[in-house]
Amino acid sequence: MIQLHGIALSNYYNKVKFALLEYGIAFEEVHTGLPIEDEATLVCSPAGKIPFIHTEQGTLCESEVIIEYLAQRFPEKGIFPADAFQAAKLRELITFVELHLELPARDLYKQAFFGGTVTDETKARVETLLVKHIKGFKQLAKFAPYLAGDTFTIADIVGYTILPAVGMATQAVLGRDLLLEGGVDWKSYIKPIAERPAVRRVMDDRKAYVAAMQGS
């Protein structure tokens, strides 16, 4: 059975967990916190990041690599469509959200979510990148009502786990939700997705993890 390693606070851990639950793939969770410093675990995740998985054949790290593995190992689950172009369009959305929205916004997380501070230079750089990239994202995403159209897809698993973090981080640090300001109504977008059983499980587990940390 697949073992998923990480913690419920991580968006990328929750991305993989959401996919496993949504597509009915059996797995077990193994709590692996940060920082990862012991050599045995670094063999599994050389960058010291979560999530990573154990399979019967070995370990894999990087969330999108794990998703691609699941899609190929379980083709009957339909994680990506059979049509090559349609599958590529989903990968395009996923890559754009993670590389051009989440990665720049991540530089704000220290201040937005963890009590630190970021420099004015960082704020200005992130704002410039996100304003540009949000315009590009709007060209790709359909929001009809899902990112790729009228059907829920793997791209929405990524959208659900990342777009709120981007919006909340920019609001907290820049004083403006750049997604909403740029015409991406992520709050309305995530509402129907939040009702999916897999999401409820992921979010309930995340809340329980946060509560346990606060009580410790």
DSSP category for residue 75: G
Helix intervals (H) in 74-196: 84-96, 103-114, 120-140, 154-174, 178-181, 186-194
- Residue 215 pLDDT > 80, yes or no? no
CATH class of the region 84-215? mainly alpha
Q: List C-alpha distances in Å: 32 to 72, 112, 137, 141.
A: 26, 24, 33, 34
pTM: 0.95
Share of the chain above pLDDT 70, in %: 100
Element (H, E) at 54: strand 52-55
pLDDT higher at 163 or 211: 163
Residues 49-106: tens digit of each pLDDT: 999 999 999 999 999 999 999 999 999 999 999 999 999 999 999 999 999 999 999 9
pLDDT at 214: 81
Residues 152-168: tens digit of each pLDDT: 999 999 999 999 999 99
Cα 20 to chain centroid distance, Å, stands at 13
Domain extents in the chain = 2-77, 84-215
- Residue 216 pLDDT > 70, yes or no? no
Residues 128-158: tens digit of each pLDDT: 999 999 999 999 999 999 999 999 999 999 9
- Residue 185 pLDDT > 80, yes or no? yes
CATH match for 2-77 among 1.10.357.10, 3.40.50.970, 3.40.30.10, 3.40.50.620:
3.40.30.10
